Amino acid sequence: MHHQLSLRRQGRGLTVTAEADAGRGTQGIDALLSRLRLGAFCSLDEAKSLAGRNQTWAGTTSLGNRVVVKRFRGSASDASSRLRRSLAFEQTVGAAAPRWFSTPTCAGFDERAGLMVFEYLDGAQSGADLLLAGQWDDELAHRVGLAIGELHDTRERGGPDAAWAAADRTAPALPSAQLLAGLPMGVYAACSAAELQAWSLLQRDPELTEAIRRLLGRQDQAEVTPAHCDFRLEQLFVASKRLYLCDWEEFRVADPARDVGSFAGEWLHYAVTSVAASDADAQTLSHAEIAALIGEGIERVRPRIAAFWTGYRTARPAADASLATRAAAFAGWHMFDRMLAIARRTVRLRAVDRAAAGIGRTILLSPDSFPQTLGLGT
């Protein structure tokens, strides 16, 4: 009989494994789980492998505990930074006790082995799965807005030693003024052919690169808050009617417009790409006909963004006046961010990704014109 893992955060702390664990295979996982008294992990062949940039498995231990084990991949410094940001969030949420969202309980971690262990959420559905199943509605979007607004409204508690005050304050990797100027040799060598096409579109468009630099300048002048900074529908889960926000590897103190823009950008990207996916005759349509279809798609998703924005402003009524404009610009950037992410797995840019990038470019060039259009108006 399987038992649901029951874990609790204890104040601002976590179960920390102090001893070194150099094991990188199942042995390393079992060593961590043993120290946490959760039992040995099932074989990786029996575990469910979860998609993502890390190695993540869901499985049952020998003591019947259902857990998710995440091993951070990448260079040692990058993996360590992402794990530390995840831990910074755990400290923050433990102190803040959010009302509008939950996050899977972290049972413990081993920094040297690059491992974290979380509770398993029975019956959880991701935001992306709910979208494909047609189960998103305005009420859910409003709840997500409340959750992100609450995250951004987390106030420093207990003076300068408050948990989030020590969070990472470096800028997220993208968009990058440096990469707009040119790709370092190491980055260039690691790019797929489609990624090089995507970077070429960005770098050879002086109006676009200048618009992105303006956005980065506005970001540097903005009020900062705790922020997710990698907010996508795949990072949202609903389990037992409770909303969960997950994957805090990019958590830091940053411009809150990033998260708001990412949510709007997710729906904008869906509106554009679903046109090509749903219309069998898309290849034969004129440019004007495709533009009309995209416009209709955006109009269909606008109520979801508007419901999110209403929830956000309810949870965070004191947001700065220019937030909606910056969020619109980040929604435009999100089209390029998604294009780059998809390009990593392909050899050629798809026409639909170029179309989405074109919409993003239009928004980035004139973000003041788009908050109302996207559902971010007053």
357-378 burial, b for 16+ CB within 10 Å, e for fewer?
A: bebbbbbbbebeebbebbbbee
- pLDDT at site 156: 45
- pLDDT at site 45: 86
CATH topology of domain 26-119: Phosphorylase Kinase; domain 1 (3.30.200)
- pLDDT at site 19: 41
Report the predicted TM-score, pTM, of the whole model to 2 decimal places: 0.89
Q: How far apart are the first and last CA of the chain?
A: 53
CATH topology of domain 125-374: Aminoglycoside 3'-phosphotransferase; Chain: A, domain 2 (3.90.1200)
Q: How many CB atoms lie within 10 A of CB 310?
A: 17
What span, in angstroms and rounded, lies between the C-alpha atoms of 316 and 145?
Answer: 10
What span, in angstroms and rounded, lies between the C-alpha atoms of 228 and 144?
Answer: 13
- pLDDT at site 91: 84
What span, in angstroms and rounded, lies between the C-alpha atoms of 276 and 258?
Answer: 27
What is the Cα 224 distance to its own chain's centre?
18
- pLDDT at site 84: 93
Closest CA to 155 of 104, 103, 98: 98
Angle at 368 between CA 365 and CA 369, to 5 degrees: 85
What is the Cα 107 distance to its own chain's centre?
22
Q: Where are the beta strands (DSSP E) in the chain?
A: 48-50, 55-60, 66-71, 106-110, 115-119, 125-126, 225-227, 236-239, 242-245, 252-254
Pairing relationship of beta strands 252-254 and 225-227 according to DSSP bridges? antiparallel
Which residues is 108 bridged to in the sheet? 117
- pLDDT at site 260: 98
**Taking phi first (over 0 means left), then psi (-120 to 50 degrees means alpha), and beta for anything else, what does residue 203 get?**
alpha
**What are 299's two structure tokens?**
């109009």
Closest CA to 36 of 12, 56, 16, 22: 16
- pLDDT at site 276: 62
**Taking phi first (over 0 means left), then psi (-120 to 50 degrees means alpha), and beta for anything else, what does residue 126 get?**
beta
What SS3 state is found at 160?
Answer: helix
Q: How many CB atoms lie within 10 A of CB 55?
A: 17
Closest CA to 298 of 339, 263, 328, 269: 269
What span, in angstroms and rounded, lies between the C-alpha atoms of 245 and 103?
Answer: 5
Q: What is the pLDDT along the chain (378 residues), one digit of tens a residue?
A: 333 343 444 333 444 443 433 344 567 899 999 999 999 999 888 889 988 889 999 999 999 999 999 999 988 899 999 999 999 998 887 777 889 999 999 999 999 999 999 999 999 999 999 999 999 999 999 999 999 999 999 864 434 456 666 788 999 999 999 999 999 999 999 999 999 999 999 999 999 999 999 999 999 999 999 999 999 999 999 999 999 999 999 999 999 999 999 999 999 999 988 876 554 445 566 667 667 777 888 899 999 999 999 999 999 998 899 999 999 999 999 999 999 999 998 889 988 888 899 999 999 999 999 999 999 987
**Taking phi first (over 0 means left), then psi (-120 to 50 degrees means alpha), and beta for anything else, what does residue 125 get?**
beta
Residue type for 60, please? T
Closest CA to 21 of 39, 7, 35: 35
Per-residue pLDDT tens digits for 45-88: 888 998 888 999 999 999 999 999 999 998 889 999 999 999 99
> How large is the C-alpha radius of gyration of the chain?
21
Closest CA to 262 of 104, 107, 152: 152
Which residues is 65 bridged to in the sheet? 3
Torsions phi, psi for 14 (to 5 deg):
-135, 165
Instruction: Identify whether the C-beta of residue 251 lies closer than 8 Å to the C-beta of residue 229.
Output: yes
Instruction: Identify whether the C-beta of residue 105 lies closer than 8 Å to the C-beta of residue 119.
Output: yes
- pLDDT at site 93: 78
DSSP 355-370: HHHHHHHHHHH-GGG-
Ranges of each domain in the chain:
26-119, 125-374
Closest CA to 48 of 122, 98, 105: 122
Beta-carbon contacts of 277 under 8 Å, excluding residues fewer than 6 positions away, are 352
